[in-house]
């Protein structure tokens, strides 16, 4: 039933089965990333990964599925991530597991379980991949999303690590030219935070009646989040609330001062946000976020207690993660990925016999390491060249009956229309030379 020439009518395609209610649809909060959007995501991920490599981080992979208990212990029993956003389920064997909602607990687990401290201290690792949170979806908020995450685990709680972590992520935004402001804060440690917490609770208890409903609840569960409330009443109250920065113990205060000094040395501008509190329990001392108009694009901080919460010996750590999807949103659909020039060669045929030669020629080129594009299934040379043009390719090879006969091919500069015939034996060499030129 193949069409051999334009004279033979094409048989009508068979009727498609009607759409049924059982037609699969993507699940709530899940989406397909295709075409230009994929290229954008891949580019962002690549820029981020390269930055991490440059800052001495080594790439690793950790499982998408972990024991639910890991997140309950690691991320915090009362955090939203654990109480309402976890994709938790029971396996056939009865194990309680969850899709990872963040990277840090999994990496911390791997660090301990695989004895990574024996590989040198501190360990600088990074990873990238999908995370899952059972949120109500909204623009810029999906149930599956991609992050690039970097952590410095082990060694000492040196503020230079905080600064270097910030620097690595800062560079990603600088490279991508995404305008962000770096917000930073210190939330103290075991020594000074409980005291501050008491002061804060005492302050808010006094004004309990002015608090919104949620904040009344927060007062019991997670008082630090009170500072983050957007209700006008609560916002006003916070102006006179005690600030953590004023209550830091001297080691924390010194630590934070050093972080700020290192950032200044690195030429990284940041703004102090005394109300910055992150949603995870394990943070202490430095916390930071890279904020854009559309929201937070990356965030992280120090977590010196997480590892021992998981049963390890005390192990300080600092880390951060950036959201690929959000950054793609911030760059916009029209963002031109820099330095992305097609370097494939187009192969076209004219006539059935030539088609076979063109196919063979493609294979030769690919073997020689030259990427090939074609539209060999199309009959007219016109339609084939149209495809070459649409793909923006600089070179097209044309094989017709004559060329098939004398073992040659035409090289056509798509842009100028200039073309020249070469024997097959010299094609690879000539194409390589011209592709090199066209890239400059």
Residue 369 or residue 417: which is nearer to RNA going by CB? Answer: 417
Task: Provide DSSP, 226-243.
Answer: GGG---HHHHHHHTTSPP
Shortest reach from residue 299's CB to RNA, in Å? 4
- Decide whether 46 or 214 has the Cβ nearer to RNA: 214
Instruction: Give the nearest distance from C-beta 135 to RNA in angstroms.
Output: 5
Pick 68 or 384: Cβ nearer RNA: 384
The CB-side HSE value for 217 (13 A sphere, CA atoms) comes to 6
Residues sharing a CB contact under 8 Å with residue 347, sequence separation 6 or more, in sequence order? 358, 361, 362, 365, 372, 373, 374, 376, 396, 397, 399
Q: Which is nearer to RNA, 251 or 279 (CB)?
A: 279
CB of 399 to RNA, least distance (A): 7
User: Is residue 351 helix, strand or coil?
Assistant: coil
Q: What is the DSSP letter of 85?
A: S
- Block residue for tokens 């016109």: 382
CB of 269 to RNA, least distance (A): 19
Closest to 285 measured CA to CA, from 245, 243, 321, 252? 252
For 248, the 3-state DSSP assignment is coil
Minimum distance, C-beta of residue 284 to RNA, in the bound complex (Å) = 15
**Residue in the block written with tokens 């103290």:** 188
Residue 140 near residue 293, CB atoms below 8 Å: no
Q: Which residue lies nearer to RNA by CB, 68 or 117? A: 68
Q: In the complex, what is the shortest distance from the CB of residue 368 to RNA, in angstroms, rounded to a whole number?
A: 22
**DSSP 3-state of 372:** strand
Nearer to RNA, 2 or 390 (CB): 390
Q: Which is nearer to RNA, 62 or 117 (CB)?
A: 62
Q: How far is the CB of 118 from RNA (least distance, A)?
A: 30
DSSP string, 275-341: T---S-TT-EEEEEEEEETTEEEEEEEE-TTHHHHTTSSP--EEEEEEEHHHHHHHH-TTPPPTT--
């Amino acid at each position: 039933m193949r069409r051999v020439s334009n004279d033979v009518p094409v048989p009508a395609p068979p009727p498609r089965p009607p759409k049924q209610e059982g037609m699969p649809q993507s699940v709530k909060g899940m989406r397909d990333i295709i075409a230009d959007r994929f290229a954008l995501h891949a580019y962002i991920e690549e820029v981020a990964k390269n930055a991490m490599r440059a800052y001495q981080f080594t790439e690793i992979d950790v499982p998408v599925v972990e024991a639910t208990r890991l997140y309950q212990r690691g991320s915090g029993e009362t955090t939203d991530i654990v109480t309402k956003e976890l994709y938790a389920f029971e396996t056939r064997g009865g194990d309680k597991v969850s899709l990872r909602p963040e990277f840090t607990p999994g990496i911390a687990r791997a660090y301990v379980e695989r004895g990574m401290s024996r590989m040198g201290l501190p360990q600088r690792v990074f990873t990238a991949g999908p995370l899952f949170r059972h949120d109500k979806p909204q623009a810029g908020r999906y149930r599956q999303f991609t992050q690039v995450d970097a952590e410095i685990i082990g060694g000492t709680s040196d503020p230079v690590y905080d600064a270097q972590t910030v620097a690595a992520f800062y560079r990603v935004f600088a490279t991508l030219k995404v305008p962000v402001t770096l917000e930073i804060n210190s939330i103290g440690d075991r020594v000074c935070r409980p005291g501050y917490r008491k002061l804060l609770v005492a302050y808010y208890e006094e004004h309990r009646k002015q608090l919104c409903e949620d904040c009344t609840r927060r007062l019991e569960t997670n008082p630090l989040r009170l500072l983050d409330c957007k209700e006008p009443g609560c916002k006003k109250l916070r102006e006179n609330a005690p600030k953590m920065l004023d209550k830091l113990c001297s080691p924390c205060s010194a630590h934070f001062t050093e972080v700020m000094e290192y950032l200044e040395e690195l030429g990284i501008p940041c703004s102090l946000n005394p109300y910055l509190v992150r949603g995870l329990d394990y943070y202490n001392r430095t916390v930071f976020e890279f904020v854009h108009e559309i929201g937070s694009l990356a965030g992280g901080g120090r977590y010196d207690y997480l590892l021992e919460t998981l049963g390890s010996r005390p192990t300080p750590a600092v880390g951060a993660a950036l959201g690929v999807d959000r950054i793609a949103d911030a760059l916009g659909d029209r963002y031109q990925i820099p330095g992305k020039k097609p370097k494939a060669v187009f192969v076209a045929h004219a006539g059935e016999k030539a088609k076979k030669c063109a196919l063979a020629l493609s294979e030769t080129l690919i073997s020689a390491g030259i990427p090939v594009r074609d539209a060999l299934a199309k009959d007219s040379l016109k339609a084939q060249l149209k495809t070459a043009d649409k793909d923006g390719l600089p070179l097209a090879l044309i094989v017709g009956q004559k060329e098939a006969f004398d073992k040659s091919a035409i090289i056509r500069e798509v842009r100028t229309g200039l073309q020249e015939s070469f024997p097959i034996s010299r094609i690879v060499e000539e194409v390589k030379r011209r592709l090199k030129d066209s890239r400059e």
